[in-house]
Amino acid sequence: MSTANTAARVVNGPGEGGPRAFRRSAPRLLGTMGPDRRLVALALLAAGASAALAVTLPRLLGHVTDLIVTGAPGRTGADTGRIGPMLLAATGVVLAASLCGLARGRLAQRASQRTAHRLRSACQTKLTRLPLSYLDGRPRGEVLSRVTTDVDNIALTLWQILTRLINSLLLAIGALAIMLWLSPLLTLCSLGTIPLAALLTKSFARRARPQAVRQGEAVGELNAFVEETYSGHELVKSHGDSRSAAEAFAERNEAVYRAGHRAQFLSGSIGPAVDFLGYLNFVLVAVLGGLELSSGALTIGALQAFLGYTLTFNNLINQMASLTNIVQSGVVSAERVFELLDAEEQSPDPLSPERPDRIAGRVAFERVSFGYEPGRPVIEDLSLTVEPGRTVAVVGPTGAGKTTLVNLLMRFHETTAGTITLDGTDIRRMSREELRSGIGMVLQDTWLSAGTIADNIAYGMPGASRAEIVAAARATHADRFIRTLPDGYDTVLDEEGANLSAGERQLVTIARAFLLRPALLILDEATSSVDTRTEMLVQRGLTSLREGRTSFVIAHRLSTIREADTILVMAEGRIVEQGHHRELIGADGPYARLFTAQFARELTAD
């Protein structure tokens, strides 16, 4: 219980490598409370009032002791006439300090939660501005951990700073001031172990920070694994992989435990070590205080008050020591959140966006190149023109650049060279919202939100009437299965539509695209997970959907694209062959080989 218990922590900060990391992140962390500066100021005012009241209590009780021991001047025995009012005043001080502490806690809680609310909103806004490559390169659970766990940890840290840390600091300053007034000699003796404790704390804190960083990373990895495993729990169980999944979870859980244990052990080891110094220091102060009492330099009440302030001062410093781990963890969480908020965003939309006079659906790729990494192109010098209303099928092996092609059209990625135009307008001069509002997508990995089937069909067009929703479902042959459900269009879907079959989920997404009536249509493996009978229904619906619309179809099942106006065969980011199905079969090139190989596999499977 030493005055020095975490003096060094307060001086050094919790960062790895000393003050540098702390100075980089701590001011920005505190700056997040800027919009609530009035609440923060009131909380600090309440903390100051609470500390000022609480710090007078030991001195009041010391006066009571003197009145009991020495009595009134010229009289023997206790001065009972003054003891009562003094005890009443002490009771009032305790009550007032408690009320101020309550106000401080409520104000700090409101300020910290409002800050957390703003940070979550900022993270959500940031996620909408990040390029697809950022999200593709990170597990979803890891990103989720930053938006939830790390932001909650920041809120806890800010609350602890505004309540316990600031209050302890103010009380410690007040106690130190009165100690100096009572006895400068004893005060200097009380502070004698601070330098040694500071060195000890600095050493432990430097070792603890890397473990706190590793703990945050391990929690993010664990969250990512749980999210991934839970979302694919049916596949895990169907493959009998539950045991290996449990082992992988145990491994990650153990990593969280080890990192947390090391961080807590290192941070928690400081207190006992410095407490030992504190106990020795307290014994020395008590002995010297007894000598000052015997010499008449201090009254018994003053010595009692000084020892009380010494204990209070030591306990407050110890409390600040216990907060170091929380503050350190909060700074690490802040760095993770700030890393997300500082990530490079996708290029902004033009200030004065352009749009075609009429979106007919003519798409042109003019010498387009793109790569995720410099010097490693995924698409290279690609040129392509698609006239309005035409259906273009894109085929090729995995990694050929098929999906990247449509991602460039949607501006999920930006080209590194060349231009893409829609009806003569460079899509980079259009706003992303305007561009994407004219494109309908049906993906292999269906995405459905929580809500009713009607809500999901109307996603992207919230003002659609029930008649329009039903018409879209009928056109895509989804109406039949929807009406067999107990609640029909008002059937509430489980998470990601788990209470529908894969084919039914895909029919809902096709109906959604139909309702939007887009000028362009992108079908990415749209029927690959649908049974044969459903596929026939879907194909008829898609035929009517494609009528009059420019369509890009990406499929590995070549039998579904025979009627496409143009088939593009891609390999290593280039178009190696294009033409109609019959032309390409007759050419006996890459497409013919793909078609023959797939046809043979289907015969073998049958």
Cα–Cα distance for residue pair 471/506, rounded to 1 Å: 17
Residue 402 tokens, joined: 């098929």
For residue 236, the cross-strand partners are: none
Closest CA to 204 of 133, 280, 266, 155: 266
What per-residue confidence (pLDDT) applies to 596?
A: 82
pLDDT less than 50: residues of the chain? 1-19, 233-240
Radius of gyration of the chain (CA): 35
Q: How many CB atoms lie within 10 A of CB 595?
A: 18
Which burial class, exposed, middle or buried, applies to 395 when counting CB atoms under 10 A from its CB (0-12, 13-18, 19+)?
Answer: buried
DSSP state of 347: P
What per-residue confidence (pLDDT) applies to 426?
A: 92
Residue matched to tokens 């460039």: 408
Cα–Cα distance for residue pair 161/158, rounded to 1 Å: 5
What per-residue confidence (pLDDT) applies to 268?
A: 64
CA distances from 343 to 134, 367, 449 (A): 8, 29, 27
For residue 493, the cross-strand partners are: 451
Which residues fall within 8 angstroms of residue 228, CB to CB, at 6 or more apart?
A: 139, 140, 141
Which burial class, exposed, middle or buried, applies to 68 when counting CB atoms under 10 A from its CB (0-12, 13-18, 19+)?
Answer: middle
Sign of CA dihedral 236, 241, 247, 251: negative
Mean pLDDT (the chain) is 79
Closest CA to 328 of 219, 164, 212: 212
Q: What angle, 0 to 180 degrees and rounded to 10, lies between the N-to-C axes of helices 300-341 and 57-70?
A: 170
Judge whether 578 and 568 are in contact, CB under 8 Å: yes
Residue 435 tokens, joined: 């561009």
Sign of CA dihedral 567, 570, 575, 576: negative
Cα–Cα distance for residue pair 230/494, rounded to 1 Å: 14
Q: Taking the model in full, what pTM does it have? A: 0.68
Judge whether 380 and 437 are in contact, CB under 8 Å: no
Helix (H) or strand (E) holding 22: helix 19-31
Query: In the chain, what are the domains?
Result: 7-341 (1.20.1560.10), 350-434+550-606 (3.40.50.300)
What per-residue confidence (pLDDT) applies to 239?
A: 43
For residue 534, the one-letter residue type is T
Judge whether 206 and 128 are in contact, CB under 8 Å: no
SS (H, E, C) 460-523: CCCCCCHHHHHHHHHHCCCHHHHHCCCCHHHCEECHHHCCCCHHHHHHHHHHHHHHHCCCEEEE
* CA 225 to centroid of chain Cα atoms: 16
DSSP secondary structure, 259-315, as one string = HHHHHHHHHHTHHHHHHHHHHHHHHHHHHHHHHHHHTTSS-HHHHHHHHHHHHHHHH
Residue 23 tokens, joined: 């100075």
Q: How many CB atoms lie within 10 A of CB 593?
A: 11
Cα–Cα distance for residue pair 256/267, rounded to 1 Å: 16
For residue 569, the cross-strand partners are: 395, 577
Judge whether 22 and 331 are in contact, CB under 8 Å: yes
379: left (phi over 0), alpha (psi -120 to 50) or beta: beta
